[in-house]
Amino acid sequence: MPAATFESTSSKLLPLAGIRVVEFTHMVMGPTCGMVLGDLGAEVIKVEPLSGDNTRKLLGSGAGFYPLFNRNKKSIAVDMKSAQGREVVLKLVATADVVSENFKTETMQKLGLDYASLSKLDPRLIYVSHKGFLPGPYDHRTALDEVVQMMGGLAYMTGRPGDPLRAGSSVNDIMGGIFGAVGAMAALMQRGQTGKGQEVQSALFENNIFLVAQHMLQFAVTGKAAAPMPERISPWGIYDVFKVKGEEQIFLAVVGDGQWKTFCEAFGYADLAADERIATNNGRVLAREWLIPLLRERLAAHSSAALTTVFEQHGLPFAPITDPQYLFDDPHLNATGGLAPMELPDGRPTKVPLLPLALDGRRLGLRLDPPKLGEHTDVLLRSLGYSAEQVVGLHADGVVL
């Protein structure tokens, strides 16, 4: 199968070309929804306060939020607390197929930007609301990714017993935004049949429950509570990180009986191949207490590079232990168009991972760098019918930036 090519052609070839999304979002969940829709070809307009999305200013582990989740978007900066600003925003919303938001319900109601208000103006409007919880006993609570990981069992499953640990990515925020985008696309399809829009709701807590559902069903099937991942009973006999020559680490897996035979032949382990106790995967699972230490001792003499060569030659699963910053130079990502050149808002060049899919052999590329604050304000105002003099006046009055 040929490698996917990088999509650098017109957005007219993309599936959501012609769809306009106006988003009132910040942080990760809401912006992710817009990013997905934008990558798929929609025109996504990010409405920001005059001070900008606070995500632009985050430090530490939040420093990458804005440039990653706000690519393929335009920015308009408006004072929505002013009457003139609200007029601008309502004119913009009137041109939208989809409105996406992840603010508190009361905030959107005060601005007249909630679904009940906007749907009266345009019954065809699709409104995507990203919240901490779907309507119910918890919906008054303030949620964050880490909050729902703790209360939803994911932190328990990730950490060691007695030491809950959040996952190493904003998994609920990102997936919650993706489900918001899925809901928006489903609503667009339904609108094509009924002519009516609808509200789509996506939530962090419910997303987290979806992620841990496999462990809930594990309990339903076995009657035994799932152990945290570091202490779990693996379904595979060999499925571990091994410390090898030079203190290097590598993940190695042997997940089937055919692979076990191949593994033993590749390393000359005739004694293990002949041991009936470990001839089957279930047998190796039951023998892990003595088998894994034995394999650790034998494999310790090999380098990570040598093990990589053997495992790759024989089609066995393996993985180097890689820090995220090294992925910019990953040969596979660079060869297959998985990374696109991008300019950061401060002008520095970088590369950014694209959506993990290909359509008709094409990766969905970058059409717009993450926008500077208010970068598209004037162009959008003119498209809404404001004259050049009116645009100047809005700037002078501090309504837009």
The ranges assigned to domains in the chain are 5-212+331-396, 234-324
**DSSP one-letter code for 103:** S
How far is Cα 88 from Cα 381, in angstroms, rounded to an integer? Answer: 8
Angle at 363 between CA 340 and CA 185, to 5 degrees: 115
| Greater model confidence, 214 or 13 | 214
pLDDT attached to residue 285: 96
**Residue 279 corresponds to which tokens in the numbers above?**
């001839």
- The token pair at 44 is 């996504």
Structure confidence at residue 238 (pLDDT): 97
Which residue from 77, 78, 84 is spatially nearest to 375, judged by alpha carbons? 77
CATH of 5-212+331-396, one of 2.60.40.3950, 3.40.50.10540, 2.40.50.70, 3.30.200.20: 3.40.50.10540
What's the CATH number of domain 234-324, 3.30.930.10, 2.40.40.20, 3.30.70.790, 3.30.1540.10? 3.30.1540.10
Q: Strands, DSSP E only, in 116-173?
A: 126-131
The answer to whether residue 9 scores a pLDDT higher than 50 is no
Q: How far apart are CA 82 and CA 79, in angstroms?
A: 6
Instruction: Report the distance separating Cα 58 and Cα 39, nearest Å.
Output: 24
Q: Are 103 and 24 in contact (CB under 8 A)?
A: yes
pLDDT score of 4 more than 70: no
Look at residue 104 and tell me whether its pLDDT is greater than 50: yes
Q: With contact defined as beta carbons under 8 Å apart, do 321 and 249 qualify?
A: yes
Tell me the H-state helices in 19-82. 29-39, 65-69
Q: How confident is residue 159, by pLDDT bands cut at 50, 70 and 90? A: very high
Predicted confidence at residue 10, as pLDDT, reads: 56
Helices 204-222 and 171-194, packing angle to 10 deg: 100
What pLDDT does 8 receive?
A: 47
Confidence label for 105 from pLDDT (cuts 50, 70 and 90):
very high
pLDDT, position 233: 81
The whole-angstrom distance between residue 182's C-alpha and the CA centroid of its chain comes to 13
The domains spanning 5-212+331-396 and 234-324 adopt the same CATH topology: no
pLDDT at 61: 95
The strand order across the sheet containing 318-320 reads 238-243, 249-254, 318-320
Instruction: Yes or no: say if 239 and 180 are a contact pair by the CB < 8 Å rule.
Output: no
Closest CA to 32 of 170, 212, 205: 170
- Provide the token pair at 246: 């030079």
Could you tell me what percent of the chain has a pLDDT over 90? Answer: 95
Please compute Rg for the chain using Cα positions. 26
> By the 8 A CB rule, do 237 and 284 touch?
yes
- Tell me the per-residue pLDDT of 244-276, one tens digit each, with 9 for 90 and over: 999 999 999 999 999 999 999 999 999 999 999
